[in-house]
């Protein structure tokens, strides 16, 4: 065993990583699956929405002048000549003194220019029968008891979307309402950036499958479920077949180096994340194997936790070697692996965390030349550093509200300092 010959700065590691990153190719995705995907090209409408003038409330389509002077005490008679329903327009022309019963969303009949609301009409016909539902037989005559102005209660063609309008820009993470707009202009598919395929290789002879009660000297896998959730949060597709023993052959197979036959098209990973065995101990096999079969570009980073982190390539695949200690794995993922997954999937490389400002209650110390990731609690603007240093204490991240980064050029922050807190949620 020997220590690291040198430790890269975080900035050096990020510079190498950013030089490897590219956006993956686009693919067509059914709209039902498009929410949360990253749009690959702009969306422009080839049509007007709506494509016709329509009623914006239930009532009667009329020539507005026909209602001039109408009040409850000056009832103006109108002859009902038919119905207009959504998808079933009135096909004749409405003349002055006539009305067409119309429902919200129905096309405005030719000749009409306003909708007289149902509450502005007395619908009792000469037989005294009520006419207040679409299934009722229309009376021959109604009485307007209020005036309506031209274009009142009418939605116009292109009121929502005008033909030729750019609706969505490339790079947008699609929201449910975006998918609805795309459907409204007749699209069935979205052109989206392919989601990065990420293989998780969780190593350790001491590990039990997630959810298994620990016993004897074995512990339950925490990194697998945590990393899988982080990958999915960042838009990746997780491939996590099983735990891997600390044995060269098992690890090589998990890395895809000694596969008996090529992996099926569409299943080969874009990124491999190894958790465990990333340092310089006798069972830390991953760095040696990556260096032998690919390129180990970075190994050892001047940060705490996560200093044993490594990065490299195996053919076209990016490989991240994360420490087995859970807090170190979380920190290294956020700084490096998550950044790569987001970039390949067309997302921002920036952290998906919200930042707030607060005042430190106690100092945070850090040596020059090392970046520190300090877990903190936040209460009414007061930032309290947690008194934990262990990289294996994953529960410290659940007690924490977020973290403070101490840059490598800083000796830390004194009590009372105004600091930036990155919130976990």
Domains and CATH numbers, the chain: 10-25+195-344 (3.40.980.10), 28-50+158-193 (3.90.105.10), 54-155 (2.170.190.11), 354-423 (2.40.340.10)
Q: What's the CA gap between 405 and 422, in Å, rounded?
A: 8
Q: What's the CA gap between 70 and 61, in Å, rounded?
A: 16
The CA-based diameter of the chain, rounded to the nearest angstrom, is: 103
Q: For position 273, what pLDDT does the model report?
A: 97
CA-to-CA dists, residue 24 to 193, 195, 287, angstroms: 6, 8, 26
Q: For position 134, what pLDDT does the model report?
A: 47
Closest CA to 320 of 406, 236, 422, 209: 236
Q: Is the dihedral of CA 107, 110, 114, 115 positive or negative?
A: negative
Q: For position 219, what pLDDT does the model report?
A: 86
> Are the CB atoms for 377 and 401 separated by under 8 Å?
yes
| Enclosing H/E stretch for 328 | helix 326-332
Query: Quick one: three-class SS letters along 117-166?
Result: EHHHEECCCCCCCCCCCCCCCCCCEEEECCCCCCCCCEECCCCCECCCCE
> Which positions of the chain have pLDDT values less than 50?
1, 125-135, 261, 391-392
Q: What's the CA gap between 180 and 158, in Å, rounded?
A: 16
The one-character DSSP state at 37 is P
Query: Quick one: three-class SS letters along 279-304?
Result: CCCCCCCHHHHHHHHCEEEEECECEE
| Enclosing H/E stretch for 62 | strand 59-62
Q: What's the CA gap between 407 and 424, in Å, rounded?
A: 19
Q: What angle do CA 273, 275, 276 make, to 5 degrees?
A: 145
Q: Which residues contact 12 (CB under 8 A, 6 or more apart)?
A: 298
Pairing type for strands 54-55 and 402-406 reads: unpaired
Q: Is the dihedral of CA 130, 134, 136, 140 positive or negative?
A: positive
User: Residue 341 — φ and ψ, nearest 5°?
Assistant: -60, -45
Pairing type for strands 219-220 and 207-208 reads: parallel
State pLDDT tens for residues 350-393.
999 999 999 999 999 999 999 999 999 999 999 999 875 554 46
Full-model pTM: 0.85
Residue 371 burial (CB count, 10 A): 22
Closest CA to 341 of 421, 251, 271, 249: 271
> Are the CB atoms for 273 and 322 separated by under 8 Å?
yes
Q: For position 330, what pLDDT does the model report?
A: 94
State pLDDT tens for residues 285-312.
899 999 999 999 999 999 999 999 999 9
Closest CA to 390 of 304, 263, 309, 312: 304
> Are the CB atoms for 104 and 94 separated by under 8 Å?
no
Q: For position 332, what pLDDT does the model report?
A: 96
């Amino acid at each position: 065993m020997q220590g690291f010959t040198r430790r890269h700065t975080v900035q050096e590691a990020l510079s190498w990583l950013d030089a490897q990153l590219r956006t993956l190719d686009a693919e067509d995705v059914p709209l039902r699956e498009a929410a949360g995907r990253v749009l690959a090209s702009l969306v422009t409408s080839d049509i007007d929405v709506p494509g016709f003038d329509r009623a914006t409330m239930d009532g009667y389509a009329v020539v507005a002048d026909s209602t001039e002077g109408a009040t409850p005490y000056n009832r103006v008679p109108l002859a009902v000549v038919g119905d207009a329903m959504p998808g079933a327009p009135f096909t004749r022309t409405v003349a002055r003194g006539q009305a067409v019963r119309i429902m919200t969303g129905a096309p405005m009949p030719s000749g009409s220019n306003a909708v007289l609301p149902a509450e502005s009409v007395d619908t009792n016909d000469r037989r005294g029968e009520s006419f207040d539902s679409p299934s009722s037989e229309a009376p021959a005559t109604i009485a307007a008891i209020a005036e309506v102005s031209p274009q009142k209660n009418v939605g116009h063609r292109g009121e929502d979307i005008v033909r030729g309008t750019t609706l969505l820009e490339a790079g947008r993470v699609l929201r449910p309402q975006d998918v609805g707009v795309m459907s409204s202009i007749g699209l069935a598919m979205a052109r989206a950036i392919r989601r990065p395929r990420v293989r998780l290789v969780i190593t350790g002879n001491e590990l039990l499958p997630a959810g298994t009660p620990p016993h004897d000297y074995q512990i339950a896998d925490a990194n697998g479920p945590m990393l899988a959730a982080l990958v999915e949060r960042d838009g990746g597709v997780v491939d996590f077949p099983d735990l891997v023993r600390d044995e060269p052959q098992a690890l090589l197979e998990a890395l895809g180096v000694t596969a008996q036959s090529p992996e099926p098209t569409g299943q080969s990973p874009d990124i491999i994340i190894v958790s465990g065995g990333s340092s310089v101990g006798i069972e830390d096999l991953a760095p040696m194997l990556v260096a032998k079969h690919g390129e180990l570009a970075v190994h050892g980073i001047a940060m705490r936790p996560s200093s044993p982190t490594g990065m490299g390539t195996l053919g076209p695949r990016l490989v991240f070697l994360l420490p087995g200690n859970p807090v170190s794995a979380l920190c290294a993922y956020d700084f490096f692996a998550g950044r790569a997954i987001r970039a390949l999937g067309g997302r921002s490389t920036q952290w998906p965390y919200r930042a707030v400002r607060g005042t430190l209650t106690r100092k945070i110390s850090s040596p020059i030349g090392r970046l520190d990731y300090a877990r903190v609690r936040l209460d009414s603007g007061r930032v309290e550093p947690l008194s934990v240093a262990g990289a294996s204490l994953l529960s410290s991240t659940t007690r924490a509200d977020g973290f403070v980064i101490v840059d490598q050029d800083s000796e830390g922050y004194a009590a009372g300092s105004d600091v930036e807190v990155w919130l976990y949620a």
